[in-house]
């Protein structure tokens, strides 16, 4: 079994950019949940981390089987998924933000009824359609045992970063100036667009190769 370190890095960066644990919109929502339903920041951050990890893990494990059941070629899905990811990156690059790139309305002012940490924070704000599609697309790029291990390591890395941001950096990053937020979004968008285009080219190469 061979685990590709470069693949782990690409998946980790891609998932971090699209889930955007550093997004002030999501951090503000998280802070609002804690205000409305007082609880330990650490325990709430752990819940969010577990929810997001399970969602991404299910997408990584079941995505391949779902595509095969639908008769969709994995390499074609990887190529198309790369284009979708690149489009998300361009959306962020030109001012859309990570939440908008996932198809979510950033104007949400506070948590809805219920826990608020599972829905709508963990899904769809963090692990939304974009994150799920990204996970499946990356998984289709490497379906070997080593690829699954690499996906697991990447998801674990994303989980650690998510926990640290929501547990320790929420209050600080939620107060970032709009200019700093815009710069972060554009840098993340450029990275995501680059990763997506690379996935598109790899998918075409594998399909015709």
Read off the pLDDT of residues 152-191 as tens digits, 9 standing for 90 and up: 999 999 999 999 999 987 656 556 677 776 787 788 788 8
Total domains in the fold of the chain? 1
Whole-number pLDDT of residue 191: 82
Expressed as residue numbers, the domain containing 113 is: 5-208
Q: Write the burial class of residue 156 (CB in 10 Å: 0-12 exposed, 13-18 middle, 19+ buried).
A: middle
Largest CA distance in the chain: 56
Minimum mean pLDDT among 67-76, 105-114, 133-142, 198-207: which range? 105-114
Tokens 């639908």 locate to 70
The answer to whether the CB of 173 falls within 8 A of the CB of 165 is yes
Whole-number pLDDT of residue 29: 76
CA distance 203 to 67: 15
CA distance 195 to 90: 11
Would you say the pTM of this structure is higher than 0.85?
A: no
Percent of the chain with pLDDT over 90: 29
Between 139 and 36, residue with greater pLDDT:
139
**Which residues make Cβ contacts (< 8 Å) with residue 84, sequence separation at least 6?**
130, 133, 137, 196
Tokens 């994995």 locate to 74
Whole-number pLDDT of residue 41: 87
pLDDT band at 56 (very low <50, low <70, confident <90, very high): very high
> Omega of the bond prior to 172 within 30 degrees of 0, cis?
no
**Which residues make Cβ contacts (< 8 Å) with residue 20, sequence separation at least 6?**
26, 98, 99, 126, 188
pLDDT band at 103 (very low <50, low <70, confident <90, very high): low
CA distance 33 to 164: 17
Minimum mean pLDDT among 66-80, 99-113, 195-209: which range? 99-113
Whole-number pLDDT of residue 5: 94
> Omega of the bond prior to 180 within 30 degrees of 0, cis?
no
pLDDT at 96 over 70: no
Between 64 and 156, residue with greater pLDDT:
156
Q: What's the first-to-final CA gap in the chain, in angstroms?
A: 23
Q: Rounded mean pLDDT of 26-50? A: 85
């Amino acid at each position: 079994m061979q685990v590709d370190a470069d693949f782990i890095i690409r998946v980790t960066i891609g998932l971090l950019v699209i889930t955007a644990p550093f997004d002030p919109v999501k951090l503000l929502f998280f802070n609002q949940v804690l205000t409305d339903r007082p609880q330990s920041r650490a325990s709430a951050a752990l819940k969010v981390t577990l929810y997001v990890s399970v969602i991404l893990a299910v997408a990584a494990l079941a995505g391949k089987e779902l595509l095969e059941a639908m008769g969709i070629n994995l390499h074609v899905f990887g190529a198309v998924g790369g284009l979708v990811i690149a489009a998300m990156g361009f959306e962020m690059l030109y001012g859309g933000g990570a939440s908008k790139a996932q198809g979510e309305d950033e104007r949400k002012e506070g948590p809805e009824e219920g826990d608020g940490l599972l829905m709508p924070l963990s899904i769809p704000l963090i692990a939304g359609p974009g994150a799920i599609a990204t996970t499946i697309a990356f998984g289709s790029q490497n379906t070997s045992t080593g690829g699954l291990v690499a996906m697991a390591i990447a998801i674990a890395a994303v989980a650690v970063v998510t926990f640290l941001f929501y547990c320790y950096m929420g209050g600080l990053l939620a107060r970032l100036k709009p200019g700093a937020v815009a710069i972060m979004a554009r840098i993340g968008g450029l990275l995501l667009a680059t990763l997506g285009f690379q996935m598109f080219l790899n998918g075409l190469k594998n399909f015709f190769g």
